[in-house]
Structure 1
Amino acid sequence: MLRSIVLALALSTTACSSWVYRIDIPQGNYLEQKDIDKLQVGMTKEQVKFVLGTPVVIDSFENDTWHYVYQFKSGRNEEFNTRKDFILNFADNKLVSAEGDFELSENFNTPYEN
Protein backbone atom coordinates (compact mmCIF):
# COMPACT_ATOMS: atom_id res chain seq x y z
CA MET A 1 0.00 0.00 0.00
CA LEU A 2 2.74 2.45 0.98
CA ARG A 3 4.70 1.59 -2.18
CA SER A 4 1.73 2.39 -4.41
CA ILE A 5 1.25 5.78 -2.69
CA VAL A 6 4.93 6.64 -3.12
CA LEU A 7 4.80 5.52 -6.76
CA ALA A 8 1.67 7.62 -7.39
CA LEU A 9 3.31 10.70 -5.82
CA ALA A 10 6.49 10.21 -7.83
CA LEU A 11 4.58 9.93 -11.11
CA SER A 12 2.40 12.93 -10.33
CA THR A 13 5.38 15.18 -9.54
CA THR A 14 7.14 14.28 -12.81
CA ALA A 15 4.00 15.21 -14.72
CA CYS A 16 4.16 18.68 -13.16
CA SER A 17 7.70 19.35 -14.43
CA SER A 18 6.28 20.87 -17.63
CA TRP A 19 4.60 23.51 -15.47
CA VAL A 20 7.94 24.97 -14.43
CA TYR A 21 8.44 28.41 -15.91
CA ARG A 22 11.72 28.82 -17.76
CA ILE A 23 12.75 32.31 -18.82
CA ASP A 24 14.01 33.37 -22.21
CA ILE A 25 17.66 34.43 -22.12
CA PRO A 26 18.73 37.08 -24.66
CA GLN A 27 22.44 37.95 -24.63
CA GLY A 28 24.59 40.36 -26.61
CA ASN A 29 23.78 43.01 -29.19
CA TYR A 30 20.33 42.76 -30.74
CA LEU A 31 20.72 44.27 -34.21
CA GLU A 32 17.99 45.05 -36.69
CA GLN A 33 18.35 45.09 -40.46
CA LYS A 34 17.25 48.76 -40.59
CA ASP A 35 20.33 49.68 -38.51
CA ILE A 36 22.66 47.58 -40.67
CA ASP A 37 21.26 49.41 -43.71
CA LYS A 38 22.60 52.71 -42.32
CA LEU A 39 26.23 51.55 -42.47
CA GLN A 40 28.59 52.78 -45.18
CA VAL A 41 32.30 52.34 -45.76
CA GLY A 42 34.26 55.34 -44.50
CA MET A 43 32.19 55.81 -41.34
CA THR A 44 34.26 56.40 -38.21
CA LYS A 45 34.18 54.07 -35.22
CA GLU A 46 32.16 56.65 -33.28
CA GLN A 47 29.58 56.91 -36.06
CA VAL A 48 29.23 53.12 -36.22
CA LYS A 49 28.93 52.96 -32.43
CA PHE A 50 26.15 55.58 -32.60
CA VAL A 51 24.22 53.46 -35.12
CA LEU A 52 24.79 49.95 -33.72
CA GLY A 53 25.84 50.52 -30.12
CA THR A 54 28.95 49.25 -28.39
CA PRO A 55 30.12 45.87 -29.71
CA VAL A 56 30.17 42.83 -27.43
CA VAL A 57 33.76 42.02 -28.35
CA ILE A 58 36.61 44.22 -29.51
CA ASP A 59 39.60 42.04 -30.32
CA SER A 60 42.34 42.76 -27.76
CA PHE A 61 45.12 42.17 -30.24
CA GLU A 62 43.44 43.72 -33.26
CA ASN A 63 41.21 46.57 -32.04
CA ASP A 64 40.17 47.31 -35.61
CA THR A 65 37.86 44.28 -35.59
CA TRP A 66 34.51 44.53 -33.81
CA HIS A 67 32.22 41.59 -33.15
CA TYR A 68 28.49 42.06 -32.62
CA VAL A 69 27.04 38.81 -31.29
CA TYR A 70 23.46 38.07 -30.29
CA GLN A 71 22.22 34.82 -28.84
CA PHE A 72 18.68 33.99 -27.77
CA LYS A 73 17.93 30.90 -25.70
CA SER A 74 14.24 30.13 -25.39
CA GLY A 75 12.95 28.77 -22.13
CA ARG A 76 10.02 27.16 -23.90
CA ASN A 77 11.28 25.47 -27.02
CA GLU A 78 14.77 24.93 -28.45
CA GLU A 79 13.57 25.57 -32.01
CA PHE A 80 13.35 29.28 -31.10
CA ASN A 81 17.05 29.43 -30.13
CA THR A 82 18.99 31.77 -32.42
CA ARG A 83 22.47 33.20 -32.80
CA LYS A 84 23.54 36.05 -35.07
CA ASP A 85 27.08 37.32 -35.68
CA PHE A 86 28.18 40.50 -37.39
CA ILE A 87 31.85 41.44 -37.79
CA LEU A 88 33.13 44.90 -38.74
CA ASN A 89 36.66 45.75 -39.83
CA PHE A 90 38.25 49.19 -39.64
CA ALA A 91 41.42 50.73 -41.04
CA ASP A 92 42.66 54.16 -39.91
CA ASN A 93 39.50 54.57 -37.80
CA LYS A 94 37.27 54.09 -40.88
CA LEU A 95 34.88 51.22 -41.64
CA VAL A 96 36.24 49.14 -44.52
CA SER A 97 34.25 45.89 -44.46
CA ALA A 98 31.44 44.01 -42.79
CA GLU A 99 30.32 40.39 -42.83
CA GLY A 100 27.97 38.13 -40.98
CA ASP A 101 24.34 37.11 -40.67
CA PHE A 102 22.89 40.32 -42.12
CA GLU A 103 22.54 41.62 -45.66
CA LEU A 104 24.54 44.75 -46.49
CA SER A 105 22.65 47.56 -48.21
CA GLU A 106 23.34 48.65 -51.78
CA ASN A 107 24.77 51.88 -50.35
CA PHE A 108 27.28 50.13 -48.10
CA ASN A 109 30.13 50.43 -50.61
CA THR A 110 29.36 54.10 -51.32
CA PRO A 111 31.87 56.12 -49.25
CA TYR A 112 30.27 58.00 -46.38
CA GLU A 113 30.41 61.79 -46.59
CA ASN A 114 30.01 64.03 -43.55
Structure 2
Amino acid sequence: MLVLALVISGCSALRFPGVYRIDIPQGNFVTEDMLGQLEPGMTPDQVRYVLGQPTLIDPFTPDAWFYPMVYQPGRGKKVEQRIVVHFDNGVYAWHEGEVIEDFRRKVTGQQDLELQERLRQQERERDSAPGAPASAEPGVNEPGVPSM
Protein backbone atom coordinates (compact mmCIF):
# COMPACT_ATOMS: atom_id res chain seq x y z
CA MET A 1 0.00 0.00 0.00
CA LEU A 2 2.84 2.39 0.88
CA VAL A 3 4.57 1.65 -2.43
CA LEU A 4 1.39 2.43 -4.36
CA ALA A 5 1.01 5.76 -2.53
CA LEU A 6 4.62 6.71 -3.32
CA VAL A 7 4.22 5.81 -7.00
CA ILE A 8 1.01 7.82 -7.34
CA SER A 9 2.42 10.87 -5.52
CA GLY A 10 5.54 10.74 -7.70
CA CYS A 11 3.44 11.05 -10.86
CA SER A 12 2.09 14.45 -9.81
CA ALA A 13 5.60 15.93 -9.91
CA LEU A 14 6.03 15.06 -13.60
CA ARG A 15 5.49 17.81 -16.12
CA PHE A 16 4.46 16.42 -19.47
CA PRO A 17 5.26 18.67 -22.44
CA GLY A 18 2.26 20.10 -24.23
CA VAL A 19 -0.12 19.52 -21.32
CA TYR A 20 -2.07 22.65 -20.38
CA ARG A 21 -1.62 23.74 -16.78
CA ILE A 22 -3.82 26.49 -15.36
CA ASP A 23 -2.50 29.67 -13.75
CA ILE A 24 -3.26 29.82 -10.02
CA PRO A 25 -3.52 33.32 -8.48
CA GLN A 26 -4.07 33.44 -4.72
CA GLY A 27 -4.31 36.39 -2.38
CA ASN A 28 -4.51 40.15 -2.77
CA PHE A 29 -2.99 42.01 -5.71
CA VAL A 30 -1.52 45.19 -4.17
CA THR A 31 0.25 47.74 -6.38
CA GLU A 32 2.66 50.57 -5.59
CA ASP A 33 -0.11 53.03 -6.57
CA MET A 34 -2.44 51.51 -3.98
CA LEU A 35 0.20 51.76 -1.26
CA GLY A 36 0.91 55.34 -2.33
CA GLN A 37 -2.69 56.26 -1.46
CA LEU A 38 -2.20 55.22 2.17
CA GLU A 39 -1.57 58.07 4.59
CA PRO A 40 -0.78 57.88 8.31
CA GLY A 41 -3.93 58.40 10.35
CA MET A 42 -6.31 56.60 7.95
CA THR A 43 -8.99 54.47 9.59
CA PRO A 44 -9.11 50.71 9.01
CA ASP A 45 -12.20 51.21 6.82
CA GLN A 46 -10.30 53.66 4.62
CA VAL A 47 -7.35 51.25 4.32
CA ARG A 48 -9.76 48.43 3.46
CA TYR A 49 -11.33 50.64 0.77
CA VAL A 50 -7.90 51.28 -0.83
CA LEU A 51 -6.32 47.81 -0.52
CA GLY A 52 -9.34 45.54 -0.22
CA GLN A 53 -10.15 43.02 2.48
CA PRO A 54 -6.96 41.64 4.06
CA THR A 55 -6.29 37.95 3.63
CA LEU A 56 -5.39 37.59 7.29
CA ILE A 57 -5.81 39.62 10.47
CA ASP A 58 -3.77 37.95 13.19
CA PRO A 59 -5.99 37.42 16.25
CA PHE A 60 -2.99 37.93 18.56
CA THR A 61 -1.86 41.16 16.88
CA PRO A 62 -4.99 42.72 15.33
CA ASP A 63 -2.97 45.84 14.51
CA ALA A 64 -1.32 43.98 11.60
CA TRP A 65 -3.13 43.12 8.38
CA PHE A 66 -1.57 40.72 5.90
CA TYR A 67 -1.90 40.99 2.11
CA PRO A 68 -0.01 38.06 0.55
CA MET A 69 -0.09 37.33 -3.17
CA VAL A 70 1.11 34.07 -4.68
CA TYR A 71 0.84 33.48 -8.41
CA GLN A 72 1.79 30.09 -9.83
CA PRO A 73 1.67 30.24 -13.63
CA GLY A 74 0.94 27.01 -15.45
CA ARG A 75 4.44 27.26 -16.83
CA GLY A 76 7.17 29.19 -15.11
CA LYS A 77 8.25 30.10 -11.63
CA LYS A 78 6.02 31.02 -8.73
CA VAL A 79 5.88 34.75 -7.89
CA GLU A 80 5.22 35.84 -4.31
CA GLN A 81 4.51 39.21 -2.71
CA ARG A 82 3.87 39.91 0.97
CA ILE A 83 2.58 43.24 2.26
CA VAL A 84 1.86 43.82 5.96
CA VAL A 85 -0.09 46.93 7.02
CA HIS A 86 0.39 48.10 10.62
CA PHE A 87 -1.99 50.18 12.73
CA ASP A 88 -1.19 52.14 15.87
CA ASN A 89 -4.04 53.13 18.21
CA GLY A 90 -6.59 52.12 15.58
CA VAL A 91 -5.19 54.18 12.68
CA TYR A 92 -2.81 53.36 9.83
CA ALA A 93 0.83 53.84 10.83
CA TRP A 94 3.06 52.12 8.24
CA HIS A 95 3.45 49.11 5.96
CA GLU A 96 6.22 46.65 5.21
CA GLY A 97 6.99 44.39 2.30
CA GLU A 98 8.02 44.88 -1.28
CA VAL A 99 5.67 45.30 -4.18
CA ILE A 100 6.84 43.25 -7.12
CA GLU A 101 7.75 45.70 -9.88
CA ASP A 102 5.53 45.27 -12.90
CA PHE A 103 3.88 42.18 -11.40
CA ARG A 104 1.65 41.49 -14.39
CA ARG A 105 4.62 41.52 -16.79
CA LYS A 106 6.52 39.05 -14.61
CA VAL A 107 3.67 36.57 -14.46
CA THR A 108 2.49 36.90 -18.05
CA GLY A 109 5.73 37.85 -19.78
CA GLN A 110 6.74 34.33 -20.78
CA GLN A 111 3.23 33.54 -22.01
CA ASP A 112 3.20 36.76 -24.05
CA LEU A 113 6.57 35.89 -25.60
CA GLU A 114 5.31 32.44 -26.53
CA LEU A 115 2.14 33.93 -28.07
CA GLN A 116 4.15 36.50 -30.06
CA GLU A 117 6.44 33.75 -31.37
CA ARG A 118 3.45 31.64 -32.44
CA LEU A 119 1.93 34.66 -34.24
CA ARG A 120 5.23 35.34 -36.04
CA GLN A 121 5.41 31.68 -37.08
CA GLN A 122 1.85 31.79 -38.44
CA GLU A 123 2.65 34.98 -40.39
CA ARG A 124 5.77 33.36 -41.87
CA GLU A 125 3.77 30.30 -42.89
CA ARG A 126 1.01 32.45 -44.39
CA ASP A 127 3.51 34.62 -46.28
CA SER A 128 5.37 31.60 -47.67
CA ALA A 129 2.18 29.85 -48.81
CA PRO A 130 1.58 29.72 -52.60
CA GLY A 131 -0.55 32.65 -53.76
CA ALA A 132 0.16 34.72 -50.64
CA PRO A 133 0.07 38.51 -51.09
CA ALA A 134 3.42 40.28 -51.28
CA SER A 135 2.78 42.21 -48.07
CA ALA A 136 1.32 41.08 -44.75
CA GLU A 137 -0.03 44.56 -43.98
CA PRO A 138 -3.83 44.75 -44.09
CA GLY A 139 -5.18 46.54 -47.12
CA VAL A 140 -1.91 46.44 -49.07
CA ASN A 141 -1.87 44.47 -52.33
CA GLU A 142 -5.45 43.33 -51.84
CA PRO A 143 -7.76 43.45 -54.86
CA GLY A 144 -10.12 46.39 -54.80
CA VAL A 145 -8.20 48.26 -52.10
CA PRO A 146 -6.26 51.30 -53.34
CA SER A 147 -2.57 51.39 -52.36
CA MET A 148 -1.27 54.34 -50.39
TM-score (norm 1): 0.70
Instruction: Flag structure 2 segments of 5+ consecutive residues without an equivalent.
Output: 1-15, 101-148
Residue pair 2:30, 2:99 contacting (<8 A) in 1 also: no
Using the TM superposition, give the Cα deviation of residue 102 of structure 1 relative to its aligned residue in structure 2, in angstroms: 3.2
Question: What does residue range 86-97 of structure 1 map to in structure 2 within 5 Å?
Answer: 86-97=83-94
1: CA distance between counterparts of 2:74 and 2:38?
33
1:101 counterpart = 2:98: yes
Residue by residue over 1:38-92, the C-alpha shift from the partner in whole angstroms, topping out at 9 and shown as x without a partner, is 01111010000000001111001111110110000111122xx210011111122
2: CA distance between counterparts of 1:74 and 1:41?
35
Question: What does residue range 58-77 of structure 1 map to in structure 2 within 5 Å?
Answer: 58-77=57-76
Percent same amino acid among aligned pairs?
A: 36
Tell me how large the CA RMSD over aligned residues is.
Answer: 1.4
TM-score (norm 2): 0.55
Q: Which has the higher contact order (CA 8 A, sep 6+)?
A: 1
Structure showing greater radius of gyration is 2
Runs of 4+ off more than 6 Å: none
